[in-house]
Amino acid sequence: MGNGKKASLAKVVLAGSSLRPCIEDRRRETREMFEGLSSDERNALAAEAWTAGLRAVSAGLEKPAEEARKPIRLSTIPPSRW
């Protein structure tokens, strides 16, 4: 991508109670995953990728929050540090 363009761009439009993502990905390996698929198969793959990605991001955001909510156990802190 030496032409100054990003490998992928995303835009999300919020419309009422739903959203409409639009992703432009210039990476060859991504394009190859979709080539040869029917329109329905491409749409299904995109939906699965979107869902899996959101789950991963959500889990990544939740994990630090869970760790922050965990109570500190005095048994794990040596008495000399009390």
Closest CA to 24 of 9, 13, 37, 35: 9
pLDDT digits (tens), the chain, 82 positions: 445 578 889 999 999 999 999 999 999 999 999 999 999 999 999 999 999 998 888 888 777 666 766 665 655 555 565 5
Q: What is the pTM of this model?
A: 0.62
Which amino acid is located at 17 in the chain? S
